[in-house]
């Protein structure tokens, strides 16, 4: 019998490794790590990856309405990434396709619109090359795949329009149960991540718009501390509450995106400078610890574990999760209450409604007036556009009462300052006081029920898949903490995810 030489053995071994790597890569549930391994092995290119996602979008988007438009320059961007890789350039997001929520601007050269789902902004051009977070993504080598559908104007036009509908994109659909709400306003981003239409996605949150769609679409959503990510070039609601964050299939992927998009931006200088002190040396990936729950003091906000359906089943699931967290070393403090929760959750009593209306008008008028070209230059112009295009914007059905109320404001006066001060006091006497008294690292709530508590204080939160109801609709567990607590939240969210491994691909059932 012939004996194989050592050089021949090495060649065969390397060939087997390459073949194994080729078999191991699948688009379904692909992670940033698996994509980069396939790139490194030479059996996947950015062009092939983008083509695969574009094919999947063509196949599924008519059903889901998750993507509002694809980037006509995506393949050219992918080709450029492939050339850069040959010259030695790399990194976690290099060559990885990213879908952006349709309120996050990109430069006009790629042919993409930025409309917040409204026909009023179709054809407008942003003055800057890209939104601040997009500049960071491109510097990291990411490929902009397109724009994700969203609740029109981030669900800040109408009280009755579905939170996942826009005039341009239509009614987005939950990929797990098509008849169920996918929530909003970052609905398209969450659906796209869940249904494997993109490697990773970006969304925005003012009050629940990342956390809610994340939990209902079984993806991981990170709503960062306000100011940790730049809001420059993003269609605003409130500079005091707006935050941009990733929605991905895994905590690790979301954290890798977070690492890229955080940091100072001269175009959002005050907020990003103030929050930059929270960014840890060495970034956030170091907190992806399997034992991240060990020693963490976590408060259970029991009032946020009340369910309108499947209550006994969901309660049992969460109790099992709490047991798992204890087994992994967490110290759970049960039956906690944030002071004045009922007032905080009532936007009229807390002052949030009063503040947001005035902030929205000021911020939107500033954004629109800064555009290089636009059919509308002010909130008043948008209102009139809707009046003139009532059929396309479904004005008779949904109206625009929030717009009208915002237009009726006249800046930040005594009433608005009082409302903002009230929210600050509610936050200090609420979550901040509770966490200090109980020496907590985080609090947990089911689904997105506590989103407003995190929103008005500018606090971070991470939603992680927690289960699926008897109807098949996903639900999540939300970890929240004080400003700058992302390292601890990441440790806990990752530890929980790795201990439970709840997420599964969608079934697209009716």
Neighbours of 369 (CB within 10 A): 10
Of 118, 181, 185, 341, the active-site residue reads 185
Query: Which residues fall within 8 angstroms of residue 279, CB to CB, at 6 or more apart?
Result: 228, 262, 263
CB 36, CB 92: distance < 8 Å: yes
> Alpha-carbon distance 189 to 194, whole Å?
9
Q: Is 332 helix (H, G, I), strand (E, B) or coil?
A: strand
The yes-or-no verdict on residue 18 having pLDDT over 80 is no
Sign of CA dihedral 192, 197, 199, 202: negative
Of 101, 223, 328, 361, the active-site residue reads 101
Q: Report the length, in residues, of the chain.
A: 510
276 assigned to active site: no
**pLDDT on residue 308:** 82
214 assigned to active site: no
Question: Which two three-digit tokens encode residue 260?
Answer: 């890229």
Domains of the chain: 30-300+323-500 (3.90.1300.10)
pLDDT digits (tens, 9 = 90+) for 230-286: 999 999 999 999 999 999 999 999 999 999 999 999 999 999 999 999 999 999 999
Q: Is 1 helix (H, G, I), strand (E, B) or coil?
A: coil
Average pLDDT, the chain: 94
Report the number of secondary-structure helices (H) and strands (E) in the chain: 20, 13
> Alpha-carbon distance 85 to 54, whole Å?
21
CB 438, CB 336: distance < 8 Å: yes
Of 209, 214, 218, 341, the active-site residue reads 209
Query: Which residues fall within 8 angstroms of residue 409, CB to CB, at 6 or more apart?
Result: 357, 358, 361, 416
**pLDDT on residue 25:** 67
- C-alpha distances (whole Å) from 257 to each of 16, 97, 140, 254 are 32, 12, 10, 5
What's the whole-model pTM score? 0.94
CB 183, CB 448: distance < 8 Å: yes
Query: Which residues fall within 8 angstroms of residue 214, CB to CB, at 6 or more apart?
Result: 190, 220, 221, 247, 448, 463, 476
pLDDT digits (tens, 9 = 90+) for 415-457: 999 999 999 999 999 999 999 999 999 999 998 989 999 999 9
**pLDDT on residue 1:** 37
504 assigned to active site: no
Question: Which two three-digit tokens encode residue 224?
Answer: 């960062």
**pLDDT on residue 17:** 41
Question: Which two three-digit tokens encode residue 352?
Answer: 């949030």
Rg (CA), the chain: 23
**pLDDT on residue 3:** 42
**pLDDT on residue 306:** 86
CB 220, CB 249: distance < 8 Å: yes
């Amino acid at each position: 019998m012939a004996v194989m030489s050592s050089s021949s053995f090495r060649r065969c071994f390397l060939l087997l490794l390459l073949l194994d790597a080729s078999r191991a890569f699948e688009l379904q549930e692909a992670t940033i790590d698996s994509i980069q391994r396939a790139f490194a092995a030479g059996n996947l290119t950015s062009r092939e990856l983008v083509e695969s996602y574009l094919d999947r979008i063509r196949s599924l988007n008519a059903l889901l309405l998750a993507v509002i438009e694809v980037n006509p320059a995506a393949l050219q961007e992918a080709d450029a990434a492939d050339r850069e890789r040959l010259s030695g350039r790399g990194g976690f997001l290099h060559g990885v396709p990213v879908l952006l929520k349709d309120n996050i601007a990109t430069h006009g050269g790629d042919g993409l619109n930025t409309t917040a789902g409204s026909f009023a902004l179709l054809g407008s051009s942003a003055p800057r090359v890209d939104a601040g977070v997009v500049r960071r993504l491109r510097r990291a080598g990411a490929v902009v795949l397109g724009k994700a559908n969203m609740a029109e104007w981030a669900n800040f036009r109408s009280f009755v329009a579905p939170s996942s509908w826009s005039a341009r994109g239509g009614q987005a659909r939950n990929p797990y149960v098509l008849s169920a709400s996918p929530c909003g306003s970052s609905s398209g981003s969450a659906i796209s991540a869940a249904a494997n239409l993109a490697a990773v996605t970006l969304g925005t949150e003012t009050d629940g718009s990342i956390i809610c769609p994340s939990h209902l679409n079984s993806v991981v959503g990170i709503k960062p501390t306000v100011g940790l990510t730049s809001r420059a070039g993003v269609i605003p609601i409130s500079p005091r509450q707006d935050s941009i964050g990733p929605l991905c299939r895994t905590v690790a992927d979301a954290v890798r995106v977070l690492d890229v998009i955080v940091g100072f931006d001269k175009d959002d200088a005050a907020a990003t400078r103030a929050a930059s002190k929270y960014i840890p040396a060495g970034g956030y990936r170091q907190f992806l610890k399997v034992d991240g729950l060990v020693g963490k003091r976590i408060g259970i906000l029991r009032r946020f574990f009340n369910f309108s359906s499947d209550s006994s089943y969901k309660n049992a699931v969460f109790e099992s999760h709490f047991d798992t967290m204890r087994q992994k070393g967490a110290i759970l403090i049960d039956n906690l209450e944030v002071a004045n929760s009922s007032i905080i959750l009532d936007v009229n009593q807390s002052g949030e409604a009063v503040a947001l209306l005035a902030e929205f008008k000021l911020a939107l008028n500033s954004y629109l007036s800064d555009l290089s070209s636009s059919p509308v230059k002010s909130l008043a112009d948008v209102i009139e556009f809707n009046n003139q295009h009532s059929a396309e914007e479904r004005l008779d059905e949904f109206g625009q009462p929030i717009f009208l109320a915002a237009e009726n404001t006249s800046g930040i006066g005594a009433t608005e300052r009082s409302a903002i001060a009230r929210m600050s006091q509610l936050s200090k006497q609420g979550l901040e006081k509770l966490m200090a008294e109980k020496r907590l690292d985080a609090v947990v709530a089911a689904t997105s029920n506590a989103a407003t508590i995190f929103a008005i204080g500018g606090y971070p939160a991470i939603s992680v898949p927690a289960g699926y109801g008897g109807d098949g609709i996903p639900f999540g567990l939300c970890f929240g903490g004080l400003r700058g607590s992302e390292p601890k939240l990441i440790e806990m969210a990752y530890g929980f995810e790795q201990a439970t491994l709840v997420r599964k691909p969608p079934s697209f059932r009716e």
